C-alpha cells in the first residue's frame, strides 16, 4: 500500500500545474468553432455618456475584415448625438470562454471593446459593447469579396427601423417601415412613420452614388412633402449572380439619428 502511494505521489509531480488563467484560455478551443475569417458588415445602435451628458444616442456602421492570426481591419462611420466621425482602424479578435469572440479595435478617436456571440460555424452574429458608460448592441452580416454596383440592389427592398429626433432638452423616438423599388441606383418608395406619436405616410425618391471600387455610398432622398434626407449606405453584397442581400444605412442629418437594415426581397 505504501509503495502504491509513493508511485501516485511521484506521478503527480510529473503533471503540469495550470493556473486559473491558463485553464480559462485552454477551455474555449475544446468546445467552440474556429473563428471564421472573412468580411462583415456591422450595424450598431445604443447610448453613451458624452461630455457629461448621459444617454446620448449613438449609432455606427462598420465594414470589417477578420484576417489570419486574429488581425482585424476596418472602416467605421459613427454618429454620437448630432456629431459625425469616420475613419479606418486596426485591431484584434480572440475567442474566449462560452464561445464569445472579443474584438478590440483602435479607432481614430480611442479604443473599443466588443463581445460577439458566434454561430456554429464560427461567424459573428450579434455583439455588445458595454465598457465604461457605453451600451451599444450590433448585428453582423457576412459580405462577399469584391466591390459593389448600384444595380446589385435592383428589385424590392423592405425595412423596419427605429430612430431618434432631436427635440429641446433631448431626443424623441421615431419608427418607420418602408417599401422600396430600386433600379440602377434610383429608388422610389413609400414610408409609414411615427414621430413621437405623430403618424405620417409619404412617398419618396432618391439616388445612391457609390464610392469608387467600394460598397459604401451616399444616398440622397426627398419625400412628397419636400423634406430632404441624407444617408451613408453600405451595400451588403452576396454572390455576384444573386445581387445584394440588402443595405445598411446611417442617417447624416444632424437632427435625426437612424440606423437601419434594409432587406432585399
Do 129 and 156 fall into the same domain? no
The three-class DSSP label of residue 7 is helix
Which residue's entry shows cell 484584434?
92
Q: What pLDDT does residue 187 have?
A: 98
Residue 75 CA, distance from chain mean position: 11
Residue 3 lies in a domain: no
161 and 253, same domain (yes or no): yes
Domain-embedded: residue 4: no
For residue 132, the model assigns a pLDDT of 76
pLDDT of residue 180: 98
Shared-domain flag, residues 135 and 159: no
Pairing verdict, β 244-251 and 228-237: antiparallel
**CATH code, domain with 121:** 2.40.128
Query: Which pLDDT tens digit goes with each residue over 62-116?
Result: 999 999 999 999 999 999 999 999 999 999 999 998 999 999 999 999 999 999 9
Q: Tell me what pLDDT residue 28 has.
A: 52
In terms of domains, do 98 and 179 share one?
no
Clarify whether residues 223 and 159 are in a common domain: yes
Count of structural domains within the chain: 2
Q: Is residue 152 within 8 Å of 143, Cβ to Cβ?
A: no
Sign of CA dihedral 116, 75, 155, 145: negative
- 142 strand-pairing partners: 40
| The three-state (H, E, C) secondary structure of 52-101, written as one string | CEEEEEEEEEEEEEECHHHEEEEEEEEEECCEEEEEEEEEEEEEEHHHEE
Q: Is residue 175 part of a domain?
A: yes
What was the pLDDT predicted at 92?
98
Within a domain: 11: no
Domain final residue, candidates 86, 121, 143: 143
pLDDT mean by block of 10 residues, the chain; 265 residues: 40 40 45 92 88 81 97 97 96 94 96 95 94 88 94 96 90 95 98 91 98 97 95 91 91 93 95
The residues near 145 (Cβ < 8 Å, ≥ 6 apart) are 39
CA angle (43 as vertex; 38, 47 as ends), nearest 5:
135
Same domain, 174 and 244: yes
Structural domain for 171, as ranges: 150-264
Residues 62 and 115 in one domain: yes
Instruction: Examine residue 178 and state whether it is found in any structural domain, yes or no.
Output: yes
Q: Looking at 143, 175, 207, which one is the last position of a domain?
A: 143
CA gap 256, 262 in Å, rounded = 18
Strand (E) or helix (H) holding 3: helix 2-14
At 29 the pLDDT is 54
Which of 111, 143, 175 finishes a domain? 143
Q: Is 100 in the same domain as 189?
A: no
User: Are 103 and 157 within one domain?
Assistant: no
Query: Which grid cell sits at 141?
Result: 452580416
SS3 133: coil
Same domain flag for 136 and 161: no
Q: Does any domain span residue 12?
A: no
Name the residue among 79, 245, 76, 74 with its Cα closest to residue 159: 245
Distance, in Å, from the CA atom of 156 to the CA atom of 168, rounded to the nearest integer, reads 37
**Which residues are CB-neighbours of 191 under 8 A, at least 6 positions away?**
176, 177, 178, 200, 201, 202, 203, 204, 223
DSSP string for residues in 11-65: HHHHS----HHHHHHHHHHHHSPPPPPEEEEEEEEEEEEETTEEEEEEEEEEEEE
Amino acid at each position: 500500500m505504501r509503495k502504491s502511494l509513493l508511485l501516485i505521489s511521484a506521478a503527480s509531480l510529473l503533471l503540469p500545474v495550470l493556473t486559473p488563467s491558463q485553464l480559462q484560455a485552454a477551455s474555449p478551443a475544446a468546445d467552440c468553432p474556429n473563428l471564421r475569417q472573412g468580411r462583415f458588415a456591422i450595424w450598431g445602435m445604443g447610448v453613451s455618456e458624452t461630455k457629461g451628458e448621459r444617454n446620448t444616442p449613438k449609432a455606427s456602421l462598420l465594414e470589417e475584415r477578420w484576417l489570419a492570426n486574429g488581425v482585424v481591419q476596418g472602416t467605421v462611420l459613427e454618429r454620437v448625438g448630432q456629431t459625425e466621425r469616420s475613419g479606418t482602424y486596426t485591431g484584434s479578435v480572440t475567442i474566449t470562454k462560452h464561445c464569445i469572440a472579443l474584438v478590440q479595435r483602435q479607432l481614430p478617436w480611442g479604443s473599443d471593446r466588443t463581445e460577439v456571440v458566434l454561430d456554429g460555424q464560427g461567424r459573428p452574429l450579434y455583439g455588445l459593447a458595454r465598457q465604461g458608460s457605453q451600451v451599444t448592441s450590433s448585428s453582423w452580416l457576412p459580405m462577399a469579396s469584391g466591390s459593389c454596383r448600384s444595380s446589385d440592389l435592383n428589385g424590392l427592398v423592405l425595412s423596419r427601423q427605429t430612430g431618434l429626433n432631436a427635440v429641446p432638452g433631448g431626443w424623441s423616438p421615431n419608427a418607420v417601415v418602408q417599401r422600396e423599388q430600386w433600379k440602377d441606383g434610383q429608388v422610389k418608395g413609400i414610408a409609414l412613420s411615427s414621430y413621437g406619436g405623430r403618424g405620417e405616410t409619404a412617398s419618396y425618391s432618391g439616388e445612391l452614388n457609390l464610392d469608387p471600387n467600394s460598397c459604401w455610398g451616399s444616398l440622397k432622398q426627398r419625400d412628397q412633402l419636400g423634406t430632404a434626407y441624407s444617408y451613408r449606405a453600405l451595400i451588403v453584397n452576396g454572390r455576384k449572380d444573386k445581387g445584394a442581400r440588402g443595405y445598411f444605412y446611417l442617417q447624416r442629418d444632424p437632427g435625426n439619428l437612424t440606423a437601419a437594415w434594409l432587406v432585399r426581397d
